[in-house]
Amino acid sequence: MPMNRNLYPDNWKEIALAVKQAVKWRCESCDRPCRRPKETWTEFCDRILNTEELYWYAETADEISDSGLANEFRERPQRFTLTVAHLDHNPINNEPGNLRALCSGCRLAYDAEQHRKNASATRYRRREERGQLSFLAPP
């Protein structure tokens, strides 16, 4: 679901950045390292492949070359995007305990039920807009 920026506070970017920095740009669910702002794809790959964060992918360099990690980097860059989720799905509640940094894959999994409910409500609303009668009992 697209983000409705009108529901968020004016300083949302600062809040989200602080949450991401607090977890050192790692997903709080799967521990995946994610790209930092303005970090090029090459810089990100170099940081991951040449730092202690390498353990996330493989125990040895041989496993990395065999795992196709470079292909994953090129083919699925969105998997390395860190987002900030409201645990209660309420964008007004920006208490630190309600915010969690999640990579895009974990975020999709976390929001799956909410997406399903929204999609169902949207389909129902569109049917009514096209003339489908409501299933409510007559008064």
pLDDT digits 0-9 by tens, 20-39: 999 999 999 988 888 898 88
- In single-letter form, the type of residue at position 88 comes to D
13-19's contacts with Cβ under 8 Å and 24+ in sequence apart are 15/84, 15/94, 15/99, 16/84, 16/99, 19/84, 19/96, 19/99, 19/100, 19/101
Q: Are 18 and 95 in contact (CB under 8 A)?
A: no
- Per-residue pLDDT at 2: 63
Q: Work out the percent of the chain whose per-residue pLDDT is above 90.
A: 29
Task: Give the SS3 label for residue 131.
Answer: coil
- Rounded CA-CA distance 75/56 in Å is 18
- Does residue 82 contact residue 20 with C-beta atoms inside 8 Å? yes
Q: Which residue has the higher pLDDT, 136 or 18?
A: 18
- Mean pLDDT, the chain, rounded, equals 78
pLDDT digits 0-9 by tens, 86-139: 999 888 999 999 999 999 889 989 988 888 888 888 888 888 888 776 666 555
d(CA 40, CA 80): 12
- Tens-place pLDDT, residues 31-89: 888 889 888 877 887 777 776 555 555 544 444 454 455 555 555 556 688 999 999 98
